[in-house]
Amino acid sequence: MATPKKLTWLITGCSSGFGLSLVRIAQAGGQKVIATSRNPSRTPDLVREVESKGGRWLQLDVDDLSSGSFIDKLEKAGEQIDVLINNAGFSIFAPIETVTEHELRAQMETIYFGPLRLIRAVLPYQRQRKFGIIANFSSGAALEAQGSMGAYAGAKGGLDALSKVLAKEVASFNIRVITVLLGTFNTNMLNVYTPGKIPLPAEYKDTVAGQFMDFIGSGKLAPNGDKDKAMKAVYQLIVGDGFGVGKEQEKFLPLGADMTARMTLVQNQLTHAKEVFGEVTNGVGLDK
């Protein structure tokens, strides 16, 4: 089924970065947008901008255990959510040894359970209408296994695996599930360095985790991606415009020059494991 010309988009995490960029691009394309953030009162100018163009800006905390009811209220009020964009997120930097359970749960709540609640809430409506698009924003960190990003990468990796399963489960209902794998971009994430609460043990100082935390904390990590160009690509893939024409079946969208190296790393790791362990991999079957 072809994608309708005008869709209603629900986008999380719109006060800055990818979310705000995508809101503007979607509105410029004539789409109906429902932007959300935890504290709309902190960005009154942005709220006015979006609403002056026919959109809505609503308060939504994806960590709220009842956040799924947000979609129910919209749908029952006549808003048909055609496109759900799960973008809201943050990252804690700490070795797995020292990251606290509270920090781990906070990452999972925002990056995994928050999107999951919204997905579960929107699916019955999209399934009944036989149309829907769900895009989950992920990260190269989930592929590369960067030291000090275990909590973040673990949460993103969990959402990635869920998305792959979900894509198979809902394909027959004409619902698309897209995983957007993002590299380093010019968003606020690189400017808001959040180390774990437990001080870094001295032994970690010269490890990959300690060195990366120092690098991130120094502010020297220069992004190589333009968030607006990335969100234009997301928009085109969803609406089937520009480069997105004919790509309605694609489930993964890697964005950022650094993603090429990261994907190659994972490919090489799996190829190496297959070459080294191929014989034993195939040699542990039941005797016939």
Active site residues: 138, 152, 156
Q: Under DSSP, is residue 90 helix (H, G, I), strand (E, B) or coil?
A: coil
* Contact assessment for residue 46 and residue 23, using Cβ atoms and an 8 Å cutoff: no
The helix or strand, by DSSP H or E, that contains position 75, with its residue range, turns out to be: helix 68-76
Extract the tokens encoding 94: 């700490």
Q: What is the spatial distance between Cα 23 and Cα 287, in angstroms, rounded to a whole number?
A: 58
DSSP 179: E
- Sort strands 83-86 and 32-37 into parallel, antiparallel or unpaired: unpaired
Q: What is the spatial distance between Cα 262 and Cα 62, in angstroms, rounded to a whole number?
A: 29
Q: What is the spatial distance between Cα 90 and Cα 203, in angstroms, rounded to a whole number?
A: 26
Sign of the CA dihedral running 156, 86, 13, 245:
positive
- Sort strands 132-139 and 83-86 into parallel, antiparallel or unpaired: parallel
Locate the DSSP E strands across the chain.
Answer: 8-11, 32-37, 56-59, 83-86, 132-139, 175-182, 252-255
* Contact assessment for residue 184 and residue 144, using Cβ atoms and an 8 Å cutoff: no
- Which has the closest alpha carbon to 124: 184, 67, 76? 76
Contacts of 235 (CB under 8 A, 6+ apart): 22, 25, 26, 29, 241
- Which has the closest alpha carbon to 102: 3, 2, 196? 196
